[in-house]
Structures are given as C-alpha cells and as structure tokens.
Amino acid sequence: MDLSLNISSALRLLGDSSKTQCATYQEVLQKVTEDLKNDCKAADTTALENHVNDDGVVIQCHSALATLFIEYVRGGHNTSVLTSSLEDLNWPADRIAEVVREIESCRHLIHSRLASLGTYPPHIVDVDWKLNYQVRCWSGGWRSHVFGNTSH
C-alpha cells in the first residue's frame, strides 16, 4: 500500500507504544471508526484536542489512520497487506489486530461511500432552447419579419 511520507510518519508515531499512550491510541482509533461510520461532512476533532501537545500530533495521527482505512478499502487490499504495512511501520501485534478488526467492521460502509462519490464527468441537466426565424427581404428597403418563436 502506497502511503505518503507524512502519513507513514504519523502512523509510525501512532503505533509506537513508547510515544503514544494506549488510551490516546484507543481514542484515536475509536474516533476514526466513528467518523467513517457516521455520515458527516468533516471530522469533528474537538474530542481529540485535549491530547494535542506537539503541534496537533494527535490530529495528524487521526488523519493518517483515516487515510489508511480509506486507502485500504479503495485499493481492495486484504488483511495481509494491511498487516505487513503496519509491521513495516513497527506496530505491535496487539495494535495491528485492533486496527484490522475495526477496519473490517466498517469495510463495506466505507466501500459504499466511496462508490457513491463517483468519477463521472459533468453533464447537462437541463436545456432551454429558443429558436427565432428571421427573414429579411428587400422591397424598397430591408425589412425583417420574425416567423415563429419555437421553444423546446
């Protein structure tokens, strides 16, 4: 799974038990799962702001974990790909198991939401056509006559 450097570093930090407390990790995981399951326009990170200590690190971890969930579902990956990706980021086995369980619980919902986004080009919804026929004739000077006003 291809993840950017920023996402990988935030995930590495989130998976590190010595840098991220278990309670903070659990809260971020629960918040990501809730945000992806609920039909909301933007994630409400006010509950996570209590843990912000270094320039919004917890919020970056939240965004990185949400990105991981979405990329996992979008790519149609299986759990072995997710497990190996998290092992490459030095995640402990218990945290990997929790993430796999949570992502599988909301996999179908994320997939259906991604499918509803669509990749269709813009198309015409409504058109109002109006045709005016104008005939100009010469009989001692130019005269214009409008024949029929057709609307479609």
Residue 79 lies in a domain: yes
Q: Per DSSP, what are the bridge partners of residue 132?
A: 149
Residue 75 lies in a domain: yes
Single pTM value for the model = 0.71
Type of residue at 7? I
Residue 80 lies in a domain: yes
Residue 122 lies in a domain: no
73-82 tens-digit pLDDT = 999 999 999 9
Residue 128 lies in a domain: no
On whether the CB atoms of residues 70 and 110 are closer than 8 A, the answer is yes
How many distinct structural domains can be found in the chain? 1
Residue 145 lies in a domain: no
Residue 21 lies in a domain: yes
Phi and psi angles of residue 42, each rounded to the nearest 5 degrees, phi first: -140, 145
118-151 tens-digit pLDDT = 777 767 777 777 777 667 777 766 666 665 555 5
12-67 tens-digit pLDDT = 999 998 888 898 899 999 999 999 888 655 555 555 555 545 568 889 999 999 99
List the structure tokens of 21: 């407390």
Q: Per DSSP, what are the bridge partners of residue 100?
A: none
Residue 49 lies in a domain: yes
Note the pLDDT of residue 130.
74
